[in-house]
Amino acid sequence: MNKRSAKESKRLILAAARTVFAEQGYAQASMRDIARVAGISVGGLYLYFHNKEDLFQTFMQEWINKLDDHTHEALVMHDDPVAAITAFISISIDFSRSHKEMIILQGREWGFTLGIDLKREFFAERRKIIAAIIKKGIETGDFEPCDVDRAAKVIFNMLRGFVISMVIDEDALFPAADCVNLVLQGLLRRNNG
């Protein structure tokens, strides 16, 4: 009998969930399908997750945690606000591209409100990170004075638009550097001399 650790079993279940949710969408996915892809029994699946909603919430939280970890690791390395906003934008775009199945899943479920509180909290935290970078850039004189919260909302929503474009129109995609350049052209202080 193959004994897996609880951590390994949970990792296999979450990987299977990613596959099944991406292929079928949340509504059509079943715990039975996820268990089959994970190579465990349905009863074994329920040892780790109470129901499909619990599994999906955990799946979403894991994805958010990975993006947060990547972002914080990069921002710790950048004290300069220009480098920090560049890193934030690049990581947001590149991470979305490399986890396209999550974007497709969200795009497939437009009316989907499951996990909405988790998403709202995630969005608010991302805007706070951007606002902190902009505020520091204004304080250092690298960025023009502006309404920090409004600028953070604009940048965040621009990034969300990019992410949605991945689902709707791949021809509309652009390199992260193009987004960074556009943002910085509006934030960098111009020398009037």
Examine the domain organization and report whether 45 and 93 are in the same domain: no
The rounded Cα 26 to chain-centroid distance in angstroms is: 18
Examine the domain organization and report whether 3 and 71 are in the same domain: no
Nearest one of 109, 98, 95 to 21, comparing CA atoms:
109
Nearest one of 119, 193, 131, 133 to 163, comparing CA atoms:
119
77-125 per-position pLDDT tens digit = 999 999 999 999 999 988 888 877 777 676 565 445 667 788 889 999 9
Examine the domain organization and report whether 110 and 145 are in the same domain: yes
Total domain count, the chain? 2
DSSP 90-134: HHHHHHHHHTHHHHHHHHHTTT--TTHHHHHHHHHHHHHHHHHHH
Q: Which residues constitute the domain of residue 168?
A: 56-187
Examine the domain organization and report whether 26 and 65 are in the same domain: no
pTM, full prediction: 0.81
Examine the domain organization and report whether 74 and 158 are in the same domain: yes
37-54 per-position pLDDT tens digit = 999 999 999 999 999 989
Q: What is the mean pLDDT of residues 157-182?
A: 75
Which comes out higher in pLDDT, residue 30 or 184? Answer: 30
CATH code of 113's domain: 1.10.357.10
Task: Give the C-alpha separation, 187 to 143, whole Å.
Answer: 5
Examine the domain organization and report whether 76 and 165 are in the same domain: yes
